[in-house]
């Protein structure tokens, strides 16, 4: 470790490109060329000498300076609604792996489904000069996102789309998957299906799944929609909702559809505490297929989302946008879900 006085009297501890140049007996330019792999512009001896000096001095270029100068940071900003949700954490892993493979770093922020924080984080990441953003939006900042689009900020939305489509979106085919599951449930002989979701609000996937549910109610299920807004922080209220759903439908065979994994968990806890048998007293199934789904009761029928792939694909699209600039028309990608049938839906 080099440590020496600078002109202004401060002690410096970091080796800079100037130090390397001095020691290697050439100019900073040549070192810079070396760092950027432009070996055509130097003799074999220079190249070797520089390599040796860098090794010897343990020199590492300051990426802040590089980014400032070149105005590309090789940094991707990722803003998630809730990173502790397994769907998100696996998605983030997919993003991380894909970025690492492409030589990018990842900055992550967790906004807890708060539109205010979402906006702040976007701006703040842009202040950090990220090259692009991957956003799991709250769907409540559409005007602001429109501004971002106008500014040509490279951005890809994951999981949650907004209208109109102003960015690339990578999501799953949840509408069709919901139809498929409910079709199967109807065929199994369940007479009444309830839709249980965290408050739908304007959140894309929840709207989608509800739309599919309503379509099936009109169609194959031939029932009026029965929709419950699950507050996962209030387990007693959820139990009450389950009781209500059961009473309301008397002798019919009843099935609970959950619009995401968090709701699923919440409902299973309620069912468990109410001492209900699955599927005799009530069937259950829905998003997501988390690792424990086969262990609970007779096994829980689920829709498995390819979260990792959603993450990886979003990076692929984002890098494309970053390279090509943002002019091409936004595209939406729907990755296939998988229906996983287990005992909880078998009468």
Would you tell me which residues interact with DNA (CB under 7 A)? 6-8, 12, 14, 16-18, 25-33, 35-36, 40-43, 45-46, 61-62, 65-66, 68-71
**Could you count the other beta carbons within 10 Å of the beta carbon of residue 63?**
12
Nearer to DNA, 7 or 295 (CB): 7
DSSP state letter for 336: P
Least separation in angstroms between residue 35's CB and DNA is 5
Which residues would be at the binding site for its own copies (CB under 8 A)? 1, 60-65, 67-68, 73, 75, 82-84, 86, 88-90, 92-93, 96-97, 100, 105-110, 117, 123-129, 151, 265, 268-269, 272, 290-292, 294-297
Q: Which does 166 bind (CB under 5 to 8 A by kind): DNA, its own copies, none?
A: none
Q: Which does 57 bind (CB under 5 to 8 A by kind): DNA, its own copies, none?
A: none
Sign of CA dihedral 339, 306, 207, 236: positive
Q: Distance between CA 192 and CA 226 in Å, rounded? A: 9
Q: Distance between CA 87 and CA 90 in Å, rounded? A: 6
Least separation in angstroms between residue 13's CB and its own copies is 8
Nearer to DNA, 70 or 234 (CB): 70
Q: Which does 42 bind (CB under 5 to 8 A by kind): its own copies, DNA, none?
A: DNA
Q: Distance between CA 263 and CA 231 in Å, rounded? A: 8
Contact 268, 235 (CB under 8 A): no
CA distances from 327 to 9, 75, 144, 152 (A): 50, 21, 19, 8
Q: Which helix (H) or strand (E) holds 133?
A: strand 132-135
Q: Distance between CA 245 and CA 254 in Å, rounded? A: 8
Q: Which does 110 bind (CB under 5 to 8 A by kind): DNA, its own copies, none?
A: its own copies
Q: Which does 295 bind (CB under 5 to 8 A by kind): DNA, its own copies, none?
A: its own copies
Nearer to its own copies, 106 or 145 (CB): 106
Q: Which does 296 bind (CB under 5 to 8 A by kind): DNA, its own copies, none?
A: its own copies
Tokens (6 digits) for 155: 């951005």
Least separation in angstroms between residue 71's CB and DNA is 7
Angle at the Cα of 208 from the Cα atoms of 114 and 140, rounded to 5 degrees: 25
């Amino acid at each position: 470790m080099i440590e020496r006085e600078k002109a202004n009297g401060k002690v410096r501890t970091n080796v800079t490109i100037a130090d390397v140049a001095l020691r290697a007996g050439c100019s900073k330019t040549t070192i810079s060329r070396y760092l950027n792999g432009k070996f055509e512009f130097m003799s074999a001896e220079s190249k070797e000498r520089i390599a040796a000096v860098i090794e010897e001095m343990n020199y590492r270029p300051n990426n802040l300076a590089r980014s400032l100068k070149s105005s590309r940071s090789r940094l991707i900003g990722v803003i998630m609604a809730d990173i502790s949700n397994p769907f998100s954490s696996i998605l983030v892993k997919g993003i991380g792996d894909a970025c690492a493979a492409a030589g990018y770093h990842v900055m992550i922020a967790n906004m807890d489904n708060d539109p205010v924080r979402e906006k702040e984080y976007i701006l703040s990441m842009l202040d950090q000069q990220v090259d692009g953003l991957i956003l799991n939006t709250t769907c409540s900042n559409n005007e602001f996102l429109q501004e971002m689009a106008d500014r040509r900020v490279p951005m890809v939305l994951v999981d949650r789309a907004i209208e109109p489509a102003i960015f690339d979106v990578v999501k799953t085919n949840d509408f069709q998957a919901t139809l498929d599951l409910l079709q199967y449930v109807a065929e199994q002989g369940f007479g009444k299906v309830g839709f249980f979701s965290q408050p739908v609000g304007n959140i894309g996937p929840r709207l989608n799944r509800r739309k599919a549910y309503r379509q099936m109610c009109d169609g194959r299920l031939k029932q009026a929609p029965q929709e419950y807004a699950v507050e996962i922080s209030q387990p007693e209220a959820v139990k009450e909702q389950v009781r209500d759903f059961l009473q309301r439908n008397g002798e019919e065979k009843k099935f609970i559809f959950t619009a995401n994994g968090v709701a699923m968990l919440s409902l299973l806890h309620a069912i468990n505490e109410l001492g209900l048998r699955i599927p005799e007293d009530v069937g259950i199934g829905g998003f997501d297929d988390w690792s424990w789904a086969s262990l609970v009761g007779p096994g829980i029928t689920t829709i498995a989302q390819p979260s990792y792939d959603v993450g990886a694909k979003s990076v692929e699209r984002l890098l494309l946008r970053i390279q090509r600039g943002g002019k091409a028309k936004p595209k939406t990608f729907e990755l296939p879900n998988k229906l996983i049938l287990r005992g909880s839906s078998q009468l």
